[in-house]
């Protein structure tokens, strides 16, 4: 009986083993997502009725309601915010009661260095997307068809562009919190038998593979786009692996998506955020290089840009910290760390 119990429980640390911590966090997240998502949907439908986009009599036509909800950027924002809140709450609860880890331990030691790294991440995502756009423009793979374009006729550009900006702020935060801050760190702790370096490297590969597979469900996904998203997961993890903080990954994730979709008009991982874009384009180049309808992440050019981003991240950290090496405490139990202190 004791040996069976130890499959689930680590008696030396007094907490669940890593695999079960990951499962419990998801079990907390899913009902929170359902409850908050239903609440966001109800608020969104009420807002549609209030502004006259749909009449109360039309609420019985579920197909029409669904089409309006999916197409409305404000409701999309509410949906993303509910997912971000559900993920944050689930990880806080799991950290407090299951992991025995403070929320700051997921990569949020918000000192001056954290904010400098965050600013670098923001700049890096913007510069890499600018380079992607300029290369495709020079190659004749994109044609600019307009500027300051809004998807809904008569809508103001400023309020229209704020919606996707808020969406990508939320996505950059909660996806990095989950994929890197929670998932990668718990995997690294659970693979401790491989040694700290081996555990962190294998955990990075596993969490990046999950990241890629989740995006394989997006519209217009291909085998190449899924492979590239696995590599993108590694790219996003580099700043975390070398600093133990989520500053660079979150900043990078935000501007990579926003500049990709709403500054330069590319599809974002197979989806189009068309509420507003600074530059509207028409793509003409080979899908193998441009990524086609999936966006730059789905093409060979995107793979080159990701490799360049990894190099620039390592150089930044080496210059700021004097070295660029794995942050080995990522594979250490917070319980053992507290006991050692």
Q: What is the pLDDT of residues 223-264, one digit of tens each?
A: 999 999 999 999 999 999 999 999 999 999 999 999 999 999
Instruction: Report whether 174 contacts 90 (CB < 8 A).
Output: no
**3-class state of residue 20 by DSSP:** helix
pTM to 2 decimal places: 0.91
User: Which two three-digit tokens encode residue 100?
Assistant: 């025995």
Domain ranges in the chain are 1-100, 109-340
The CA-atom distances, in angstroms, between 227 and each of 84, 131, 179, 187, 297 are 25, 21, 17, 21, 10
- What share of residues in the chain are helix, strand, coil (percent, to 5)? 75, 5, 20
The dihedral over CA atoms of 159, 176, 131, 238, expressed in degrees to the nearest 10, equals 160
pLDDT confidence of residue 51: 67
More confident residue, 68 or 259: 259
Average of per-residue pLDDT across 206-229 = 91
Strands 276-283 and 142-150: antiparallel
- d(CA 156, CA 32) in angstroms, rounded, equals 34
Strands 15-16 and 9-10: antiparallel
- d(CA 246, CA 277) in angstroms, rounded, equals 28
């Amino acid at each position: 009986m004791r040996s069976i119990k130890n499959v689930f429980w680590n008696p030396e640390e007094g907490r669940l083993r890593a695999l079960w911590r990951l499962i419990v966090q998801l079990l907390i997240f899913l009902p929170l997502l359902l409850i908050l998502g239903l609440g966001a949907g109800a608020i969104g439908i009420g807002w549609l009725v209030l502004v006259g986009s749909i009449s109360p009599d039309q609420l019985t036509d579920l197909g029409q309601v669904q089409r309006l909800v999916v197409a409305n950027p404000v409701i999309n924002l509410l949906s993303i915010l509910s997912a971000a809140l559900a993920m944050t709450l689930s990880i806080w609860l799991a950290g407090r009661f299951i992991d025995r880890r403070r929320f700051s331990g997921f990569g949020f030691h918000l000192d001056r260095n954290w904010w400098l790294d965050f600013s670098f991440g923001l700049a890096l995502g913007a510069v890499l997307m600018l380079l992607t756009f300029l290369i495709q423009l020079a190659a004749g793979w994109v044609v600019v068809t307009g500027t300051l374009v809004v998807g809904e006729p008569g809508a103001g550009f400023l309020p229209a562009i704020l919606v996707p900006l808020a969406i990508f702020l939320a996505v950059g935060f909660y996806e990095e919190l989950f994929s890197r801050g929670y998932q990668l760190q718990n995997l690294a702790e659970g693979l401790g038998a491989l040694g700290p370096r081996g555990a962190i490297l294998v955990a990075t590969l596993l969490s990046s593979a999950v990241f890629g597979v989740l995006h394989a469900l997006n519209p217009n996904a291909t085998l190449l786009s899924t492979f590239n998203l696995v590599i993108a997961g590694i790219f996003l993890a580099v700043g975390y692996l070398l600093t133990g903080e989520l500053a660079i990954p979150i900043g990078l994730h935000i501007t990579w998506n926003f500049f990709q979709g709403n500054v330069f008009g590319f599809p974002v991982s197979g989806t189009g955020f068309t509420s507003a874009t600074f530059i509207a384009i028409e793509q003409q180049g080979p899908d193998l290089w441009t990524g086609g309808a999936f966006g730059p992440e789905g093409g060979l050019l995107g793979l080159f840009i990701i490799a360049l981003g990894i190099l620039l991240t390592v150089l930044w950290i080496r210059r700021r910290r004097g070295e660029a090496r794995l942050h080995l405490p990522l594979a250490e139990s917070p319980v053992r760390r507290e006991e050692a202190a």
